[in-house]
Amino acid sequence: MLIVAMRRSYTIRPYQPVDLPRLQEITAQTFGPVSIDRNMEQRLGPFGQGDWRTRKVGAIADDCQAQPDGVFVAEDGTGRVVGYVTTRLNPLSGIGWIPNLAVDPEHQGAGLGRALIGHALDFFRRSGMQVAKIETLEQNPVGQKLYPALGFTEVARQIHYAMRLDQPLSAQNSDSASSV
């Protein structure tokens, strides 16, 4: 069990469907600097219906539907949801995955992200998982410091590429159109 000292009093509890709008609000507030879809929009321009926020809040709804018993929310002393962690279990591989972790900006720096990850790791252990994994982007310095501090080991790096399909290749920026 991971013991985390927090500067404020929080309660971590299982997700309830009534929490979803607040989880999506926290997502929209926090994921901008660390969103692959936002990076794509900045490089390629708008695409699809809505923007990166629309897609990311939809992904949180998918997480809550796919593994509702593996989503945990943190409440402050007033009962307001101020953070969450989503998880997925793969019994065949023995891997527990943390797809999303977010803390309301007003509550960041209080140890809540650590506590939520600790809660997820306990859930993985109780569920018989042998390995836990979490991913972060190079542009997320908080995650790059936090995850190793909690015992995670970097095992690989991945590069994401994207290209527009609704424009001729010559109309796209020179970075994505450069020859190999």
The pTM assigned to this predicted structure is 0.86
Domain hosting residue 132, numbered range: 11-173
Q: Do the domain assignments include residue 18?
A: yes
Identify the DSSP state of 170: G
Is there a domain that residue 63 lies in? yes
- pLDDT tens-digit map of 115-152: 999 999 999 999 999 999 999 888 788 888 989 999 99
Structure-derived torsion over alpha carbons of residues 161, 165, 171, 173, reported in degrees to the nearest 10: -10
98 falls within a domain: yes
Adjacency order of strands within the sheet including 131-134: 11-14, 72-75, 81-90, 95-103, 131-134
Contact 91, 110 (CB under 8 A): no
CA pair distance 47, 40, nearest whole angstrom: 9
Which residue type is seen at 100? Answer: N
Q: Distances from the Cα of 8 to the Cαs of 55, 74, 76, 109, in angstroms?
A: 32, 12, 8, 10
Q: For residue 97, what are the CA distances in angstroms to 63, 85, 146, 180? A: 11, 11, 16, 35
Residue 6 resides in a domain: no
| Structural domain total, the chain | 1
CATH number at residue 118: 3.40.630.30
Residue segments in the chain with a per-residue pLDDT below the cut of 50: 1-5, 176-177, 179
Do the domain assignments include residue 179?
no
- For residue 88, tell me if it sits in a domain: yes
The answer to whether position 5 is within a domain reads: no
Q: Is the residue at 89 inside a domain?
A: yes
